[in-house]
Amino acid sequence: MPNYCFSTIDGEVVERFFRMSEVPLLITLEDGRIAERDFAAEHLPRRAGSGWPMECCASGVAPQQAGELRELFQKLGVSTEVSTDGNPVYTSSIHRKRALKARGFYDKQSF
């Protein structure tokens, strides 16, 4: 299901998933505010801050090894949070690249 953007009257942009055939023009947020579909925000090349922080299961470990991964990041000098599932949480693309490099990993699809 695609991701769609909605804007509130105070300028907050929220993203929601809908089937293409079921996308509403207005939604009601959890706090009762109304948000209108924002076509312009959907067509921006990349919204500021979207996608970060990112919990990465591809570079994660088994949940039993989460503590070991936390210790490894501390030892390597790359401050990185690790979820209870064993997945590192990257705060930016630079942080992700630095953490992967410290562990000897690289992303062939990365910039």
pLDDT tens digit sequence for 56-103: 888 999 999 999 999 999 999 999 999 999 999 988 888 898 999 999
Report how many domains make up the chain.
Answer: 2
How far is Cα 108 from Cα 89, in angstroms, rounded to an integer? 19
Quote the DSSP letter at residue 47: -
Query: Torsion angle, CA of 83/88/91/95, rounded to 10 degrees?
Result: 160
Q: Look at residue 15 and tell me if it is in a domain.
A: yes
pTM summary value: 0.56
Higher pLDDT, 109 or 3: 3
- Residues 12-35: what's their mean pLDDT? 91
Distance of CA 82 to the CA centre of its chain: 14
- Kindly state whether residues 59 and 32 are assigned to the same domain: no
pLDDT at 110: 67
| Residue 98 belongs to some domain of the structure | yes
Nearest-angstrom CA–CA distance, 49 and 74: 26
Lookup: tokens for 5: 């953007």
pLDDT at 1 over 80: no
| 24 and 59 share one domain | no
Same domain, 98 and 60: yes
Structural domain containing residue 27: 3-42
Query: Is residue 42 very low, low, confident or very high in pLDDT (cuts 50, 70, 90)?
Result: confident
Q: Indicate whether 38 belongs to any domain.
A: yes
